[in-house]
Amino acid sequence: QMLRFQYRQFIPLSKRWGILWFNDAGLIDAQENNLLNLFYLGREIPNELNHVNFYGLDYMENPANRYAFSGVKFRFEPALDYFASLIFNYGYYQADSYSVANDDENIEVAATAEEIMGAGIELGVHTRLGPAWFSGEYNLRTENFNFAILMG
């Protein structure tokens, strides 16, 4: 069983500037050692509710049973179809302990509960195939960078 809540509010400041306030929280009743039945914080996959976008984390970086976060995105559109964004988000997540079978041994992964903070920039353009953008992100807790080029 899964419960997920999202709330977003866009606040236009002018014709070219705006602020997006976003919030996300989830709770999942994971079956023991079923890694498919978890949330994965990092890059999102469209139409996959378990993959949650958190700026500063790489794809599927943090598995979680419970999480909550909030953030702001400052968006600037210097010309028609071009955009740039500065993003910051902060949150908390928990993951229960689980074991992973590796060849003939089980690896125990300890339970985790910690705060997460990330920041990023996006530079993009709207095309006929949808938006295309470059994303550069930084994890403020682990001091790691990650980058991506996305389309659609």
Element (H, E) at 13: none
Torsion angle of the four alpha carbons 40, 43, 46, 52, in this order, in degrees rounded to the nearest 10: 40
| Contacts for 103 with CB less than 8 Å, ≥ 6 apart | none
Instruction: Give the pLDDT band (50/70/90) at residue 20.
Output: very high
Residue 128's nearest CA partner among 83, 85, 81 is 81
Mean pLDDT of 51-55: 95
- pLDDT band, very low/low/confident/very high, at 32 (cuts 50, 70, 90): low
Q: How confident is the model at residue 33 (pLDDT cuts 50, 70, 90)?
A: low
Mean pLDDT for the stretch of residues 42-59? 91
pLDDT single digits (tens) 91-120: 999 998 877 777 888 888 888 999 999 999
Q: In the predicted model, is pLDDT for residue 30 greater than 80?
A: no
pLDDT of amino acid 55: 96
Ordered DSSP codes for 16-39: SEEEEEEEEEEEE-PPTT-TTSSE
Residue of 59, 123, 48, 57 lying closest to 90 (CA atoms)? 57
